[in-house]
Amino acid sequence: MRPVLLAALILTCAPALARAQAGPQPVGLWLTPAGDSQIRISRCAAAYCGTIAKVLAGETKDVHNPDASLRGRSLVGVALTRDMHPAGEGWEGSLYNFRDGKTYSGKLAMKGPNVLELSGCVLGGLICKKQMWTRVD
């Protein structure tokens, strides 16, 4: 009886997992809306992670990091998105905002093959700010 229930559960969940993985994926190099940095998103285990690949304008050091010992490090290579796992029509995880040194709950959602919507939220998702990133490669 248990193998039958397990098979039924897998068949029930499979369409949801397929939807989360179907269509354009966020892997690649993305330009922020201000055009001041490029973020590389890649697979990290079963999730997606994003790191700052290039700073094109503005501050190049992590000066707002809450850990004073990290404020002198280069922003290049800093993890911006972490553990973005499938959720709904996109991915959820955490976002580090190097502009204020805070980490927020966040979401990624593909809005076309070359447009990625990033949203960071506070207060359990009550207040969110969205950005549209464009694919570089």
Q: Which residue has the higher pLDDT, 115 or 6?
A: 115
Residue matched to tokens 């990091």: 65
Res. 3: pLDDT tops 60: no
Average pLDDT, the chain: 84
C-alpha torsion angle, residues 36, 33, 89, 28 (rounded to 10): -40
State residue 137's pLDDT score: 77
Res. 59: pLDDT tops 60: yes
State residue 125's pLDDT score: 66
Per residue in 84-131, pLDDT (tens digit) is 999 988 999 999 999 999 999 999 999 999 999 999 988 776 788 999
Q: How confident is the model at residue 7 (pLDDT cuts 50, 70, 90)?
A: very low
